[in-house]
Amino acid sequence: MINMNLNTAIKSIVKEYLQNETLADLVYGTWGGSSVKIDNKPLPIPMDMIDVPKGVTVTVGERVTLMMKQGGQKYALIGVLG
């Protein structure tokens, strides 16, 4: 009986943690050609860390929207702001 309550408590804690954890975040930046300068971040993000959909062209200086994976190690371009 005690073991079942502990098991239920652990499941509840994990479920609440996952619901509150941000797995991705929407960020904005400025396209630099070889990198993107994310607002409020000191260093530009190199292009090898950014997934760009086929057929999307971005001009240097344009504002972009990116999805940032948790931890900030990978980004995906999701739009060009006009």
Domains and CATH numbers, the chain: 23-80 (2.40.50)
Tens digit of pLDDT per residue, the chain (82 long)? Answer: 455 688 888 888 888 877 767 678 899 999 999 999 999 989 999 999 999 999 999 999 999 999 998 777 899 999 999 7
* Structure token digits, residue 5: 């309550």
pTM (global) more than 0.85: no
Structure tokens at 3: 């073991």
Q: How many helices (H) and strands (E) does the chain have?
A: 1, 6
